[in-house]
Amino acid sequence: MTIVDKSYGISSPVQPFTTYKHSIELQANVADLWWTVDNVEEEIIFELHVKTTGWIALGISPAGGMIGADIGVGWVDQEGRVHFQDRYAFNRSKPIIDNTTSDWFHLQGREQNGWTCIQFKRLLDTCDSMDVRIKSGTNVIIFAYGLVDPDLSRPDGDIFYHGTRRGTRMIPLQSYGNSPTEDKFSELDSFEFRFNNYRVPSTSDTTYHCKVYKVPSRLSTKQHVIAHKALIDPANRDLVHHLLVYECDSATIFDDANLPDGLCDDIFPKLQLCTTNIASIWAVGGDEIEEFAEEAGYPVGGDFPIKYYVIEMHYNNAELASNRTDSSGIRFYIGKELRQHDLGYLSFGTYPNSAAIAIPPKIARFNIDSYCSPRASQHFPESGHSIWTKLIRNNTATQYLFNAEAYDFNYQFENVLQQPIKLYRGDAFATRCIYNTMNKNEITLGGPRTRDEMCLHIFTYYPRMNDLYSCWTMNAMASWQRLMNSSSPITDRMLLKQWLLNITWTPDLATEWQEFYNSASRDAFFGRSGNLEQEFFSILPKYKDLQPFECEKQQTNDSAVTTIGYNSANQYKRFVLLAFVPFIVRTSFK
């Protein structure tokens, strides 16, 4: 078990009752949460600290609000006794006490230094219709607190409305990647790729700036990066939307005295071999430090063929602020010795353009699917609403690589798989993003701006492949040509984009649009910069989907309660996925 030795970003001055696998600051100087998942007992143990001497509450919500939330409410009275209640919210009013079954159990609690601290537990799946299952993937956590304890001896002594004393976070409770503190790497060598007082343009709300860097010459032998830290300029956290580090193909040649540096579109001709192979990523809401699995490291220096890298920095200057300069970047920490495996990055999903993503307005659920076929996995070594990627083996879905039924653009965590998933040649992968545009009056297109959409799952894995970095799809232009009723092939995507922007939408057309996406032919592209292969699908391949299973919870009288859930699959071996970031630019993603 991984133990949180030193919690990152924790406010509470009170030590937790025990050690935990995970911890997070829910609200600065207000609320902290620790937890450990016990897969044997199929339960989760929480410890919640809130800066109050009143009641505190933690809930699991199906969609981020009160409605349908399963909530544990507790307080410590003046005699030091802990009170804890299992509650359920039918609507936005006060959650009722669940008198059918009690599934939240307090273990211990105390008040100290103005903080209320309670340790409690719950089964991952209680099979109770008034509870929310804690699934693998993202979970929506809500919390709230009051200023005084309830007085249950009085008719009006129940909990009072919390007002603004509340919050919501989306956290992968079973796969959260704890961010270590920087002092863990203080004795290691490191190097940085960093902007130098770059003046962020004030003429546009969206800027993509690219700069090429060369690996330091002092790295004369191959070494392994074991962690990296996003160096986000503290003064510009409102501007820096995300940064990507790309490898430049080994065939790339630059003048080291004049490395490209400018707006990405302006210098793109020089970067054509530098925009596919991802080497690192940070997005808004993500932890600053990412540490790799102990058996793998990212290779740099020596005879490793990649010598040049590009930082692509996305600035979202919504207020068109002027005179803003930025020195954000990334730092790489080098291990003291080589690890067993070289680590790589692999992404699944769709191209971020209008040929791949065109979402109608005023629609509650719109699915966009992509597929990476067994042809792409031949490169493997031998021996919104939600986003998911499924592993397809022998034309059958065997398990989710990740299923983010709840996704929040503002919290793009690294998700660490509970157990590494091992893959074979011949495996296929299906990715789906589900969008909600009920708050939009116009079409939403794929693209780089914050108001546009992306749909990508980015994974780290080992052993590294040098010929497969991505597998992305988009609707074939022939399908768009038929939809547009055009007699000529579409060769200019800007014309397609303009046609999409000019559509007058009706509810019937929005429904028909999903039917078009379901039946449209697709082009898939996979490989690396300068060497992408293409595969055509007249329709996305069908596969046998995951089968329902019955939830069973043993009762004290040996009877069983059952509900319907979803099956997961066996473990496999050889090609190992470690962790991933669902990366979606969202305006209306639910």
Enumerate the domain spans of the chain. Answer: 22-171, 186-342, 346-545+574-580
The model's pLDDT over 447-481, given as tens digits with 9 standing for 90+, comes to 866 678 888 888 888 899 888 999 999 999 999 99
pLDDT confidence of 424, banded at 50, 70, 90? confident
Across the chain, mean pLDDT equals 85
Phi, psi for residue 450 in degrees, rounded to 5: -60, -35
Identity of the highest mean pLDDT range in 17-21, 23-27, 436-440: 17-21
Burial of 525 from C-beta contacts in 10 A (0-12 / 13-18 / 19+) = middle
- Whether residue 279 is predicted with pLDDT greater than 70 in this model: the reply is yes
Residue owning tokens 């996925």 = 577
pLDDT at 4: 43
Provide the CB-side half-sphere exposure for 20 (13 A, CA): 27
Overall pTM > 0.85: no
Question: Mean pLDDT over residues 486-494, rounded?
Answer: 89
The fold for domain 186-342 equals Jelly Rolls (2.60.120)
pLDDT at 383: 47
- Tell me the CA distances in angstroms from 67 to 6, 94, 95, 217, 406, one per residue in order: 35, 10, 9, 57, 15
User: What is the distance between the alpha carbons of residues 566 and 551, in angstroms, rounded to a whole number?
Assistant: 9
Strand, helix or coil at 512? helix
* 76 membership: H or E segment, kind and range: strand 70-76
Residue 465's CB: how many other CB atoms inside 10 A? Answer: 16
Give the residues across from 175 on adjacent strands: none
Q: 178-187, 257-266, 481-490: which range is least confident on average?
A: 178-187
Q: For residues 91 and 255, which has the higher predicted lDDT (pLDDT)? A: 255
- Cα Rg, the chain, nearest whole Å: 25
CB of 35 closer than 8 Å to CB of 20: yes
User: What is the distance between the alpha carbons of residues 173 and 155, in angstroms, rounded to a whole number?
Assistant: 37
CB of 28 closer than 8 Å to CB of 43: no
Residue owning tokens 């910069």 = 529
pLDDT confidence of 9, banded at 50, 70, 90? low
* 284 membership: H or E segment, kind and range: none
The fold for domain 22-171 equals Immunoglobulin-like (2.60.40)
- Whether residue 589 is predicted with pLDDT greater than 50 in this model: the reply is no
Max Cα–Cα distance, the chain, nearest Å: 82
Question: Mean pLDDT over residues 198-221, rounded?
Answer: 95
- Whether residue 415 is predicted with pLDDT greater than 80 in this model: the reply is no
- Whether residue 203 is predicted with pLDDT greater than 50 in this model: the reply is yes
Residue 28's CB: how many other CB atoms inside 10 A? Answer: 10
- Whether residue 190 is predicted with pLDDT greater than 50 in this model: the reply is yes
**Which residues, 6+ apart, have CB-to-CB distance to 494 below 8 Å?**
none
Scored b (16 or more CB within 10 A) or e, 276-292 reads bbbbbbbbbebbbbbbb
Residue 479, token pair as written in the block: 């399908």
Question: Mean pLDDT over residues 148-177, rounded?
Answer: 82
Scored b (16 or more CB within 10 A) or e, 359-381 reads bbbebeebebbbbbbbebbebbe
* 511 membership: H or E segment, kind and range: helix 507-519
* Pairing label, strands 240-247, 277-283: antiparallel
Question: Mean pLDDT over residues 281-295, rounded?
Answer: 85
CB of 281 closer than 8 Å to CB of 454: no
User: What is the distance between the alpha carbons of residues 493 and 529, in angstroms, rounded to a whole number?
Assistant: 21
